[in-house]
Amino acid sequence: MATYLYETVSAEANEPVTQFEIRQSMKEEPLTHHPETGQPIRRVISGGFGLMGVRESTPAPAPSSGGCGSACGCHPH
């Protein structure tokens, strides 16, 4: 089970947005209405930690060549 962040969808500009969390299976479709109030909601996509593990890395080559020196696409060859 994953915990997802949802927020209410305001019908009017001055209506406050409320955020809340719901635990769901990753296989379930995102909810479209609040399970208690029936108000329209949407799932909020947010960033994560960005690191799944730690590994040693080698330093990038000096920028004298204008790129990293490999075929990564960061510099047209």
pTM of the model: 0.57
* Residue whose tokens read 């209410």: 8
When pLDDT is cut at 50, 70 and 90, the band that residue 57 belongs to is low
Q: Residues of the chain with pLDDT > 90: what percent?
A: 48
pLDDT in tens, 9-28: 988 889 899 999 999 999 99
